[in-house]
Chain A
Amino acid sequence: MQVFKLIELMGHEQVSFCQDQKSGLKAIIAIHNTNLGPAMGGTRLFPYGSEEDALKDVLRLSQAMTYKAACANIPAGGGKGVIIAKPEQKTQKLFAAYGSFVETFKGRFITGEDLNISVENVRQMFAKTHYLVGLQERYGGAGRATAIGIACGMQAARKFYFGNENLHGLKVAVQGVGKVGQNLCQLLSAQRVELFASDPITARVQEAHRLYGAHIVDIDEIYDLDVDIFAPCALGGIINSRTIPKLKMAIVAGSANNQLENEEIHSRMLAEQQIIYCPDYVINAGGLINVYDEMMGIEENISLARVRKIADTLMEVFKLAEDNNITTLEASKRLAEQRFLKGRYDKPLVKQ
C-alpha cells in the first residue's frame, strides 16, 4: 500500500486524511513521533497539485519537527498539518472544521501557524479546539525568538571553528527579510555586522536597508556574494547542486526549514566545499521553544535563555561531527535520535 511505503521509510506513527465536504476541507495531519511528548507542528495551507505532493510534504515536515524538538530539548514530538487549498479559499468555516479535526486528536497533536496561515486563522481554529499555540505573541513573538536562536547559532559556529564568537565586522547575507529575517538584521546590526539582504517584496528589503543599513541585493545574486555567513530565512530547498558551487562563505546559518534540497547529497557537498552547515532544525528551533514556553507559561527570561541554549546544542553537534568525521547534519540526526528513539516499548505488550 502506497501510503504505508512512504510512512515505513520515515517512521510515522499516524497519518490522517481529514475531509469535510460542507466546508471544503481536505487536510492531512501527520504525527511522526510522540516518544518525548505530544506532537507539535504548525499547519500550512497550500494549493498542492496533487494529494501525493501534499502527503510527501506533510510527512517530511512532521519528521523534521521530531528532530527539531529533540534537539531543542523540548518534551514534544513531531507533527504537522497541511490544508490543501488556495489562499482565496480560506474561510472561517474551513478553519473551524480543521480545528474540529485537531480536537479529535485530544492533545496528541498541537498546532499553530505556518505558511499561508495567520494568527487570525489560528484564532478561527480556537472556536473548536484549544490544542493550539501562538495565539498571543509572547516575549516579542516566535519570529524574534527564532532570530535570537540564529544569531546565537552563528556565534557558536564562529566560536567552534574560528575560535572567536564575536560577529563584529563580519559580512552576513540574509535571504528573505520577513518576520525572522528582519529581526535577525536588527540583532546582527546591533553587533556591527555588515548586512546584505534580498527579498522578492521590495518594501521589505527597503525597510532592512533603512533601519539596519543592509545592502539591497537581487534575489538571484545572493548566492554569489563574498560574505562570511549566509542566512537563508525564506524558502527551503535553496541549497542544492546549482547554488552550492556559487557559495563562497564559510558558514550557512538560517531559519528556513528544509534548506537542503537533498539532505544526504547536499550536506556532503557543503562539507566537501568546507562550508559549515548549521542544521536548519537545530538552529531555527527558537520559534518552537517560544511557542512551547508560551503554552507552558514559562517566564520570559527563562524562555529566552532556553532559546540561547541553541548555541550549546550546536556546539555538541559540531563536536560530534568532528569526533566522528561525519557531516553536521548526520551529527544532529544522531543527537536527536539518541533522545527520541527510546522508551516507547517499555510498557510490555504481552504478559511476561
Chain B
Amino acid sequence: MTNKTSQHDRSPLLWEGAFRFADELGPAKITHIYEPLPGLKAILVVDNVACGPAIGGIRMAPDVSTEEVFRLARAMTLKNAAAGLPHGGAKSAILADPKLPLSDKERLVRTFARAIKGITEYIPGPNMGTDELCMAWVQDEVGRAVGLPPEIGGIPLDEIGATGFGLSISTEVASKFCNLELKEARLVIQGFGSVGKHAARFLAAKGVVLIGAADSQGTLFNPQGIDVTQLIELKNMGKSVIDYPQGTKLDRDAALDIECDIWIPAARPDVVRADNVARLRTKLVVQGANIPFTSEAEQICYERNILVVPDFIANAGGVICGAVEYRGGTKMMAFQAIEEKIRHNSTLVLEKAEQTGKLPRQVAVELAKERIQKAMGYRHLISCQTGSY
C-alpha cells in the first residue's frame, strides 16, 4: 500500500524537477552544493544505500545535468548490488573544467570534500576528471575515499587492470553460453584505454586472439592477430593503436564492422544504437563501458542471437577493487574478490536468461533489485539510512 502524494505540475519545459526520477528504489537524496568564494558548484545524488554506504565516483566536467548524475548513481546502485557488494549507489559531479590549474582544482576538490563531510552514506571515488591525487585530497579532508594512491592504502586499479580482469572472467563464463571456445576466439576491442587494454591482456592469456582495436584516432585491424603486449606498450607511450606497425588502419568507428567472436565496447555510452547495430557481426558482446548500447540495440542483438553481457555485471571489477581497498585489502584479495563475484553473478544472470528467455540485462536488473529490496526490508524505514559508520 503506497501513500500517493498529488501529481505535481511537471512543466518539463520550464522546470527540471528533482523529484521526477523517483521510483521504488530512489533516489533518496539529491544535494546541490554551492560555495561562492572557491566557485564550487556540485551535485551529489545518493540513490539507494540500503545495502550499505554508497561508493560512487566524483565526475569533474563543466556541464553535467542532474539527470546524468542520477543515471550514473542508479547504475552504481544496480552494479554494487549485482556484484554482491555491501554498498549502495551514488554519484557526484563537480561542475568545473578538469584541466584547471592544479591549485584551483585542489581548492574545488577540498571544498567539495568538506561540504560532504557529514554525508557519511557516500564514499567518493575517482571518475572522469578526477584521479587518485584528488582522492588523496578528499581522504585528507574527510577520511573516506577509494581509489587512493598506493602510498596511503590505495589499490591502483588502472595499473593492475581490475576492470579488465573482471571483463575477462565474465567473457570466460559467457563463452560457455554461446558455445564459444576461448582458444583462438577473435576479439575486437572498441576503446583501447585503461579498461580495454587490460581486458585484451587477460583474454590473450586465455588464448583469445586480438584482431581489432580502436581508440580516438582510429581502428587497427589485423586478421592474423595483434601483439597485445606491443600494442599496450605503444599506448603507454602515449601513441595510438594506428601507430602499430602491421595491420590495416581504418576509421575510428570501423571497429563495428569487423567480423569477430567477441566484441568489447570499452569507451563511451551509446556507441551502438538502433541505427548502426546491424553492422555488428559477432557472437558475444561483453560490455566494458557503462551503457555502451542503447536499449533498442540490445533488443536487436537479442533477436539476432548475439549474447550481450550487461555492463554492470561485466565491468564491476573496478568497484569491487574499490570495496576491497576500502576495507584495507590487498591486490591479491582484490583479484580474488573480482574473480569470485563476477564469475558467480555472470553465471547466475546468463543461466536465468537462458531459462526464462529474457534479456540478460532484464535478468540482471531483477537480480539486483531483489537484493536491494531484501536489504531495504532489513532497514526500519528508508533507503537513505545506513546506520552508524
Contacts and interface: CB of A to CB of B under 8 A. Distances in A.
Contacts of B385: 100, 103-104, 128
A100 B381 contact: yes
Contacts of A8: 34, 36, 41
Contacts of B151: none
Contacts of A13: 33-35, 115
Given A89-B3, A100-B384, 6 more contacts: A1-B41, A4-B41, A22-B382, A51-B9, A100-B382, A104-B118
B8 A49 contact: yes
A19 B32 contact: no
Interface in A1-23: 1-4, 7-8, 11-23
B332 interface: no
A96 interface: yes
24 contacts: A1-B41, A2-B16, A14-B31, A15-B32, A16-B29, A17-B18, A19-B26, A19-B27, A22-B2, A22-B3, A22-B24, A22-B381, A23-B382, A26-B5, A52-B15, A85-B5, A97-B381, A104-B29, A104-B118, A104-B121, A107-B118, A344-B37, A345-B38, A349-B111
A8 B41 CA distance: 9
A50 B11 contact: yes
A319 interface: no
Interface string B17-49: 111001110111111111111100100000000
Interface stretch (B102-110, B237-245, B309-317): B102-110
Contacts of B11: 50, 52
B236 to A, nearest CB: 31
Nearest to A24: B3
B224 to A, nearest CB: 51
A104 B384 contact: yes
B383 interface: yes
B6 interface: yes
A18 B32 contact: no
B387 to A, nearest CB: 10
B300 interface: no
Interface string A169-209: 00000000000000000000000000000000000000000
A16 B27 CA distance: 11
Nearest to B18: A17
A96 B381 contact: yes
A289 interface: no
Contacts of A49: 8-9
A89 B5 contact: yes
Nearest to A128: B381
Interface string A85-99: 110010101101100
A19 B22 contact: yes
Contacts of A104: 29, 118-119, 121, 384-385
B15 A50 contact: yes
B305 interface: no
B19 A51 contact: yes
Nearest to A19: B22
A7 B32 contact: yes
B59 to A, nearest CB: 14
B28 A18 contact: yes
A97 B27 CA distance: 14
A45 to B, nearest CB: 11
A12 to B, nearest CB: 6
A15 B115 CA distance: 11
Contact of B103 (A21, A23, A350): A350
Interface string B60-94: 00000110000000000000000000000000000
A105 interface: yes
B2 A17 contact: no
B4 interface: yes
B378 to A, nearest CB: 14
A16 B31 contact: yes
Contacts of B29: 16-19, 101, 104
A47 interface: yes
B382 A101 contact: yes
A246 interface: no
Contacts of A7: 32, 34
A71 interface: no
Contact of A101 (B2, B27, B33, B384): B384
A12 B34 contact: yes
Interface in B338-389: 381-385
A248 interface: no
Contacts of A138: none
B30 A16 contact: yes
Contact of A86 (B2, B6, B19, B384): B6
Contacts of A168: none
B290 interface: no
A339 interface: no
A252 to B, nearest CB: 32
Contacts of A89: 3, 5
